[in-house]
Amino acid sequence: MSAYALALVLAGACCHAWWNLILKRTGGGTGFFLLFSGFSAILLAPVALVVWWIEQPIMGWQQWSMMGLSALLHLLYFLALDHGYKHGDLSIVYPLARGTGPVLTMGGAILLLGERPTVIAIGGALLIAGAVLMLVGDPRKLRESGNLRGVAFALLTGCLIASYTLADKQSVAVLLIPPIVFDWCANVMRWCLLTPLALRNRAGIKAAWQDHRKEALYVAILSPLSYILALTAMRFTPVSYVAPAREVSILIATVLGAKVLAEGDATRRLAAAVLMIAGLFALALG
């Protein structure tokens, strides 16, 4: 991986960890998601339209279909992540979701995209598996702490991360959709899909506006920025390198959960996060 690609990915990882901290602290909900998705659509529109006009990408049925698929997968991802944070700690849910995603992505890249990772990369996947076991710990203690359901939603989130990463890699690298155009169009589609669901709880939308519109604005900037940076790296770097490298955010989020949110068992969770990072960088080097 080039230094430029690594810089893009690491900057995006920092943005990703911060917006997840904000989501955890606000409590999320469909009203909050509707709010920050709407803010993102408005804020990104001028830049996305200028890039669209300059690059003049081909936008046929394949491109629109892939953006629609991305919108659906990202919506399911946000909902699963939100439920994970409602039932589990940030320093458990975030590492599990982000750590399992790249391993599954690597498997998909081998089977579907013909990528061939090295022995080092496979060793990295085994390190991540060990870190997951360390992070989860004794299932009986998870049940006692109330984190068991959070773990289940985190693993579901990891599956969705792998799904949209593989699909979006094809969109920007093969179909040549500019990353910011891709993310903006998919976000608008996601907002349209989310609106009927969010309107079932109008009180939640009102509460999000009254109590958390500032936080929604922060997420509206950080969330698309983190992914646009990753998509840009994917245009010229194998996804089996990009997906693991961006998960340095695991360590950041685990530290934030332990220190900022004062979540328990910090030593074991930080040790698992460090082991997971080692595995992820082995994947990237491989």
For the segment 211-244, what is each residue's pLDDT rounded down to a tens digit?
898 999 999 999 889 888 888 888 888 776 776 6
Cα separation, 150 vs 96, in Å, equals 10
- Look-up of token digits 């901290």: 21
Average pLDDT score, the chain: 81
The count of residues in the chain is 286
Q: CA angle at residue 74 from 73 to 75, to 5 degrees?
A: 90
Domain residue extents for the chain: 3-285
- Residue listed under structure tokens 């990009």: 242
List, for the chain, all residue ranges whose pLDDT scores fall below the cut of 50. Answer: none
Whole-number pLDDT of residue 129: 65
Residue with tokens 């999000």: 208
Per-residue pLDDT of 180-204, as tens digits, reads 999 999 999 999 999 998 888 888 8
Contact 223, 164 (CB under 8 A): no
Rounded CA separation 262/149 (Å): 20
Percent of residues, the chain, with pLDDT higher than 90: 25
Rg (the chain; Cα; Å) = 18
Task: Report pTM.
Answer: 0.77
**What distance lies between CA 70 and its chain's CA centroid?**
12
Cα separation, 52 vs 47, in Å, equals 9
Non-local CB neighbours of 126 within 8 Å, separated by 6+ positions: 279
Q: How many CA atoms lie within 13 A of 4 on its CB side?
A: 6
Q: From 13, 62, 63, 20, select the one nearest 179 (Cα to Cα).
A: 63
